[in-house]
């Protein structure tokens, strides 16, 4: 389900971000995952990169309308891995510097600035801001895949967010812990990736981001996969039982043939003779089916078959 990521991002954009505090958390997370700090002529600013025009429009509108900072298109570059153009927007001026400080990405000091790599607690102190940070991080560097609907597999669920540095990624793991989500962190080239592979956890994350349509889709696929897996397990169990029945029947028929070719079946006791005839008459019948026909219990039939097997072994060794 390669397009599930885009479905989540589209729903995030459709729902929008309300409140300045949430927008600050959202933008901070987006820059951490899909942006960078730049400087020019002593001024600081930021550069944003996305391959989705709708995302670009959403961010440009938010930054210009809510923070009064117009973004200039810095260019487009073809990404050979995704097959799409990556759009780049930037702004370097006093307003951009002030916004970066509000986003807790830089700390201004006199004529200079220092980078802040951790996630500031003040940005995500409210539940709504934490959710907004999660949305911004996913919109900027997130992806989510689901298993193919027709495949028999318990795996295939994957949710990840890619950060530009390990410090931010580690703090993001801590944020997820506050949502009772235990995520894993791994280095990938020059990036740090936070990921989970549990369908239950992915469901919690979609719920936290307010992606209700995508959550419903995930639940449908999980339900379908569970049904498919149950059917396959039942089929495998049935096939295993058939294999056991065939193996037992072949062994029993072989024992009976040994007796017939040596002393003859007429020399068996009436009870064993009855069992031998029933098995030879229907080699494919299960033990329960034979027991029902002979009107005896299955355990009684097993006992008689063991007697026949012991006799066949004795006759074979003579």
* 61 contact partners, CB below 8 Å, separation of at least 6: none
Span 282-306, pLDDT tens digits:
888 888 888 888 898 888 888 888 8
Span 154-185, pLDDT tens digits:
558 899 999 989 999 999 999 999 988 999 99
Q: Does domain 4-210 have CATH number 3.30.30.60?
A: no
Q: How far separated are the first and last CA of the chain, in Å rounded?
A: 67
Whole-structure pTM value? 0.69
**Residue 232: pLDDT above 70?**
no
12 CA to centre of own chain: 20
Span 58-95, pLDDT tens digits:
999 999 999 999 888 877 665 555 556 788 888 998 99
Structural domain boundaries in the chain: 4-210, 242-317
Which sign, positive or negative, has the C-alpha torsion 156, 161, 164, 170?
A: negative
Nearest Cα to 191, choosing from 148, 140, 155? 140
pLDDT band at 2 (very low <50, low <70, confident <90, very high): very low
């Amino acid at each position: 389900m390669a397009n599930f990521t885009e479905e989540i991002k589209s729903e995030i954009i459709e729902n929008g971000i309300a409140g300045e505090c949430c927008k600050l958390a959202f933008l901070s997370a987006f820059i951490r995952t899909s942006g960078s700090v730049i400087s020019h002529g002593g001024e600081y600013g930021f550069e944003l990169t996305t391959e989705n025009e709708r995302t670009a429009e959403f961010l440009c509108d938010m930054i210009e309308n809510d923070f009064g900072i117009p973004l200039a298109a810095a260019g487009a570059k073809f990404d050979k891995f995704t097959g799409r153009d990556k759009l780049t927007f930037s702004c370097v001026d006093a307003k951009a510097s002030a916004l970066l400080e509000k986003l807790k990405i830089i700390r201004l000091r006199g004529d200079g600035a220092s980078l802040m790599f951790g996630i500031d607690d003040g940005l995500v102190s409210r539940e709504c801001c934490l959710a907004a940070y999660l949305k911004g991080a996913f919109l900027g560097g997130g992806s989510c895949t689901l298993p193919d609907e027709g495949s028999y597999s318990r795996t295939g669920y994957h949710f990840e967010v890619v950060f530009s540095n390990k410090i931010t990624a580690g703090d993001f793991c801590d944020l997820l812990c506050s949502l009772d989500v235990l995520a894993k962190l791994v280095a990938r080239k020059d990036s740090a990736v936070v990921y989970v592979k549990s369908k239950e956890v992915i469901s919690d994350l979609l719920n936290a981001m307010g992606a209700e349509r995508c959550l419903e889709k995930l639940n449908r696929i999980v339900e379908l996969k569970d049904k498919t897996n149950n059917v396959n397990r039942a089929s495998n169990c049935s096939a295993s039982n058939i294999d056991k029945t065939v193996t037992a029947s072949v062994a029993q028929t072989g024992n009976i043939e040994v007796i017939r070719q040596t002393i003859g079946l007429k020399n068996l006791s009436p009870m064993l003779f009855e069992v031998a005839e029933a098995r030879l008459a229907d080699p494919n019948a299960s033990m329960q089916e034979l027991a029902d026909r002979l009107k005896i219990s299955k355990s009684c039939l097993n006992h008689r078959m063991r007697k026949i097997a012991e006799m066949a072994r004795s006759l074979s060794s003579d």
